[in-house]
Copies of this chain bind each other. A is one copy, B any other.
Amino acid sequence: MDVLFSDMADDALFEFLHMEIVAHVYKEHATRDDIDKERVTCISTLEAMGFRVGQGLIERFTKDCPTFKDDLDIMKFLCKDFWSTIFKKQIDNLRTNHQGTYVLQDNKFALLTQFSSGKQYLEEAPKYLAFSCGLIRGALSNLGLESVVTAEVSLMPSCKFMPFI
Contact = CB atoms under 8 A, between A and B. Distances in A.
Identical copies in the complex: 2
Nearest to A52: B20
Chain A contact patch, size range: 20 to 34
22 contacts: A2-B84, A5-B61, A5-B65, A5-B81, A6-B81, A6-B85, A8-B61, A9-B60, A9-B86, A10-B10, A12-B57, A13-B14, A13-B53, A13-B57, A16-B57, A17-B17, A17-B21, A21-B21, A21-B24, A24-B24, A24-B45, A28-B28
Q: Which of A5, A8, A25 has the most CB of B within 10 A?
A: A5
A40 interface: no
A56 interface: yes
